[in-house]
Each structure stands twice: as C-alpha cells, then as structure tokens.
C-alpha cells in the first residue's frame, strides 16, 4: 500500500530564511505526488504536483519540490519565507485509478518575524 511520511509535525523558521518541509513516500509503482497547503479555517489548496517528466516541480507562491526516486522523497522548499506562508502543509500520494489521495500527517509551518 502506498503511504506518505512527513518528518516534523512543526517547523519554525525566521522570515527570509529557507523553508524545507520533508516528505518521504512508499510506493511500489511510479507515484503521483502532491503538496497541498491549508490556511486556518480554509480548505486545502494545491501548491504543486509531480506526475511525470521533470523532477523539479515549481508551484505557486515561490514553492518548489524535487522528486528523488533513489531517496523516495519529495521535499518542499522555498528560498525565503514570508509571514503569509504560515499554514499547514500536506504531502500526498495518489495510488492511481481513482484519483484519491493518501495524505501525510501534515507539517505546521510557523514563520517568525
């Protein structure tokens, strides 16, 4: 069965610092991978996704993620954090066929001034 593990339930960075949110997946077949963001009292919004092709994926709000098959990882990064980036971030894998997503436990990003 496919699964996702997010390392670190809480990450705190200073404004302007690098953001790195870690995600490792378990999959027996080439996966589709996603990062979603959830702002307080809102639904989830797609940041970026990897399906096929280029392994470095660029998303909205300056975020990007790199698919590394050898490390079974799909870490999310942003060079410079903004206060508005404070939210909960979810990594997800799609087992295929139904389009349903299996989510990680989520990482809460705190950005300090």
Partner 1 sequence: GAGVSQSPSNKVTEKGKDVELRCDPISGHTALYWYRQSLGQGLEFLIYFQGNSAPDKSGLPSDRFSAERTGGSVSTLTIQRTQQEDSAVYLCASSPRTSGMGGELFFGEGSRLTVL
Q: Rule CB under 8 A: which residues touch partner 1?
A: 32, 34, 36, 41-46, 49, 51, 90, 94-106
Output 45 or 84, the one with its CB closest to partner 1. Answer: 45
Q: How far is the CB of 107 from partner 1 (least distance, A)?
A: 11
Q: How far is the CB of 5 from partner 1 (least distance, A)?
A: 11
Q: How far is the CB of 15 from partner 1 (least distance, A)?
A: 27
Output 6 or 81, the one with its CB closest to partner 1. Answer: 6
Output 3 or 80, the one with its CB closest to partner 1. Answer: 3
Among 21, 28, 20, which residue's Cα sits nearest to residue 5?
21
Q: How far is the CB of 36 from partner 1 (least distance, A)?
A: 8
Both tokens of 5, joined, read 């593990």
Report the C-alpha gap between 74 and 57 in whole angstroms: 10
- Give the single-character DSSP code of 25: E
Q: What is the largest CA-CA distance in the chain?
A: 44
Among 26, 39, 109, which residue's Cα sits nearest to residue 74?
26
């Amino acid at each position: 069965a496919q699964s996702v593990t997010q390392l670190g339930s809480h990450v705190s960075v200073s404004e302007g610092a690098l953001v790195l949110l870690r995600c490792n997946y378990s999959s027996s077949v080439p996966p589709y991978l996603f990062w979603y963001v959830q702002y307080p009292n809102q639904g989830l919004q797609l940041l970026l996704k990897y399906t096929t092709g280029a392994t470095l994926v660029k998303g909205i709000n300056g975020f990007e993620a790199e698919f590394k098959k050898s490390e079974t990882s799909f870490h999310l990064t942003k060079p410079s954090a903004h206060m508005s980036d404070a939210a909960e971030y979810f990594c997800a894998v799609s087992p295929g066929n139904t389009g349903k997503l299996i989510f990680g436990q989520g990482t809460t990003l705190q950005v300090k001034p």
